[in-house]
Amino acid sequence: MDTMANEETTTWELLRERSLQTGGFGEDRVRIWPALLGVQPLSDPPPYSEVECITQDLSNAAIDNGGYSYEDTDPHPDERQIKLDTDRSFVLYSLESSSASRDALQNDLHDLLLSLFRKRRSLHYFQGFHDIVSVLFLTLPRPLHFPCVEKMALHRVRDSMGIGLEPVVGLLRILRNLLRLVDPEYAKLLESISPLPYHALSNLLTLFSHDVPTLPLIQHVWDFLLSREPVAVVWLAAAVIIYRKPSIQLLAVHDEGGMIHSLLGALPELIDG
């Protein structure tokens, strides 16, 4: 189902159910994701009110920068790292032949990130945040980029955007404790290799966007995540680790600790089905 048959009956439960179906939200992502991020109610048709306000405030200079307003503001301390990361972006997800050049997309992504961090100066960039923004960038139309990226930063990954990593380490502890509850024996084996599941750090930090190999797959993963509480990323990480259990146990029998680390650090083969 590519279109929403009856928006009035669309509820959280229906969205969560649809997120598990083949193809997920499909073409409706351009309406569902902004609603789930709190940019605009799902029942309200475009144009989006928040987008209109932002657009009205754009200066000519900002429009020249792809519609992302950051001119005449002081640089953010993290801009050097932002530049390094955006210069190597759009490599994982292949671009269609009709798409803009990779350089142009990288420049637009860079401007989008600067617009966020110069507005929200208390946020601290972390390596991999550009992967998150890239998914929104490639999925949603341009007027939705900034409001959705801002909501994502403030409400979905805010704990990762402080000075230290302690909140993220807290997520690792939650993941460890969840594994203890689900499978105590397996959790004990994993903790004998590493006290915390640091191999899942990238997945938790970037909502799997750094490691999922294709854009359609990460879009479907996000259909699942965005229609659930932010802690759902921990549930998904736990499911991946549990899926690896037979292989991990076999490697443990043969005392292949190094191979266990490598296996846990990579996602299994994913298909949208």
CATH number among 1.20.140.10, 3.40.50.720, 3.40.50.300, 1.10.472.80, domain 165-265: 1.10.472.80
Whether residue 27 contacts residue 2, with contact meaning beta carbons closer than 8 Å, is answered with yes
Mean pLDDT of 233-242: 97
Q: Is the distance from CB of 198 to CB of 172 less than 8 angstroms?
A: yes
> How many angstroms separate the Cα of 97 from the Cα of each of 28, 100, 109, 212?
24, 8, 19, 21
Q: Which of 39-43, 90-94, 234-238 has the highest mean pLDDT?
A: 234-238
Residue 258 CA to residue 5 CA, distance in Å, equals 50
Over 70: is that where the pLDDT of 247 sits?
yes
Give the pair of three-digit tokens for residue 269.
């083969």
Please name the CATH architecture into which domain 14-44+75-160 falls. Orthogonal Bundle (1.10)
Range name among 20-29, 56-65, 166-175, 182-191 with the lowest pLDDT average: 56-65
Q: Predicted confidence band at 143 (pLDDT cuts at 50, 70, 90)?
A: very high
Closest CA to 32 of 189, 139, 166: 139
Output the pLDDT for position 93. Answer: 76
Using the 8-state DSSP alphabet, how is residue 162 labeled?
S
SS3 per-residue string spanning 143-195: HHHHHHHHHHHHHHCHHHCCCCCHHHHHHHHHHHHHHHHHCHHHHHHHHHHCC
Tokens of 201: 């750090």
Closest residue by Cα to residue 168 from 117, 137, 205? 205
User: How much is the average pLDDT of 59-87?
Assistant: 73
Span 133-161, average pLDDT: 95
Residue 248 CA to residue 253 CA, distance in Å, equals: 9
CB 238 within 8 A of CB 179: yes
Are 37 and 151 spatial neighbours (Cβ–Cβ below 8 Å)? yes
Stretch 230-257: mean pLDDT: 93
Read off the pLDDT band of 16 (50, 70, 90): very high
pTM, to two decimals: 0.86
So where are the chain's domains? 14-44+75-160, 165-265
> If we measure between CA atoms, which residue out of 184, 172, 192, 188 comes closest to residue 257?
192
Determine the pLDDT at residue 110. 96
